Structure 1
Amino acid sequence: MRIHIASVFVDDQAKAFEFYTRVLGFRLKNDVPVGPFRWLTVVSPDAPDGTELLLEPSEHPAVPPFRNALAEDGIPAMSFQVDDIDAQYQRLKALEVVFVQEPTDAGPVRMAVLNDTCGNLIQLVQMKE
């Protein structure tokens, strides 16, 4: 058994697609119209056949309170691993990404948290060697 798809709820699929591809560097995997929305998934360019991230519309009534509670408590909705967090931080800051936590050591990892512009906090993690 392996993880096939993980999802992150987004306010606007088009805006999320732009952020997750143009800014974070993920690649389109699926874009299928489903009523007023899309089955829109992206993947890491390093693992094009790996786990897909579904940019899922946040239309269900339970989603806004859940996401707001996570954001208010500073809890990321998703975590992405990077090889060099300081380099990614500098690259993303140059693209005007807003970080709510700069790179910080936390036990066996170095981590930072950014705002994805679509209603979520996203954690970047670099494993220490």
Structure 2
Amino acid sequence: MRINVTSVFVDDQAKALEFYTDVLGFVTKTDLPAGEHRWLTVVSPDAPDGVELLLEPSDHPAVGPFREALRADGLPATSFAVDDAQAEYERLVAAGVEFTQPPMTMGPVTSAVFDDTCGNLIQIASMHVG
């Protein structure tokens, strides 16, 4: 068993696709019509056959209260691994991304949290050895 697709709920799929590709650097894997929405996934350019991130429409009535509760507590919807959280933070800030938590080092992990402009807080994290 392995993870093939995971998702984040987004307010606007087109806006999310632009942010996740143009700003974060993911690439589109699948973009198919699915009723009034799209089956829209992105992947890391370093792992084009790896885990896909589905940019899932946030229409379900349970999504709004769930995301609001996460945001109110400052909790990220998901976490992305990066080689160097500080460097990625600096790159994203330069691209206009707003962070709710600057890089913090806790033991072997440095993490930061940003607003994805689509309704979610997202964490980036890097592990250090040694």
Task: Verify same fold: TM over 0.5.
Answer: yes
Please state if 1:101 is matched with 2:89.
no
SS in 2 for 1:79: strand
In the aligned structure 1, how far is the partner of 2:108 from the partner of 2:32? 39
| Alignment-derived partner of residue 78 in structure 2 | 78
Q: 1:16 maps to which residue?
A: 16
State the alpha-carbon separation in 2 of the partners of residues 106 and 67 from structure 1: 25
Instruction: Report the Cα offset of residue 84 of structure 1.
Output: 1.1
**Cα distance in structure 2, aligned partners of 1:116 and 1:37:** 20
The structure 1 segments of at least 4 consecutive aligned residues displaced by more than 4 Å after TM superposition are none
Matches within 5 A, 1:9-88: 9-88=9-88
Deviates more, 1:62-71 or 1:100-109: 100-109
Q: State the superposition RMSD in angstroms.
A: 0.6
Report the count of equivalent residues.
129
* Deviation for aligned residue 1:86: 1.3
Q: Distance in 2 between matches of 1:90 and 1:107?
A: 21
AA aligned to 1:111 is S
Q: In 2, distance between residues paired with 1:126 and 1:30? A: 27
TM-score (norm 2): 0.98
- Partner Cα distance (1:6, 1:79) in 2: 11
Percent identical pairs in the alignment equals 67
Partner-residue secondary structure (3-state), 1:42? strand
Listed as ranges, the gaps of 5+ residues in structure 1 are none
Within a 5 Å distance, the mapping from 1:104-115 to structure 2 comes to: 104-115=104-115
Q: TM-score, normalised by structure 1?
A: 0.98
5+ residue gaps, structure 2: none
Q: Secondary structure at the match of 2:76?
A: coil
CA drift at 1:12:
0.4
SS in 2 for 1:110: strand
